[in-house]
Amino acid sequence: MPPVARVVVPPVRLPWREERVAVTVRLVVDEQGMPQQVEVAELVSTELQELVTAAVKQWRFSPATRHGAPVNAHVVLPLNIVTR
């Protein structure tokens, strides 16, 4: 996986209880280190899916390289989200 250069944490606030949710996000990190084609792999609430997707789209990565040149990389990103 390309190294993460900047992380944005989604503001997850659900009023009824604290909960830990494991989520897998699939994405492509492009040649500039920008996340593309971001999707949550599991069935989670629409609200949580939208928050996680929006947050990951703001992440920045150091691009993957092949023979010294930046390339697109398919990434599977496991996340542990704590709702409050």
Give the pLDDT of residue 81. 82
Domain count of the fold of the chain: 1
- Which has more pLDDT, 13 or 52? 52
Closest CA relative to residue 35, chosen from 56, 65, 62, 10:
56
- Which has more pLDDT, 19 or 12? 19
Residue 47 included in any domain: yes
Percent of the chain residues past pLDDT 90, beyond the cut:
52
pLDDT band at 30; cut points 50, 70, 90: very high
Residue 30 included in any domain: yes
Structure tokens given for 81? 């989200």
Give the pLDDT of residue 20. 80
Task: Indicate yes or no: pTM above 0.75.
Answer: yes
Q: What range defines the domain where residue 57 resides?
A: 23-76
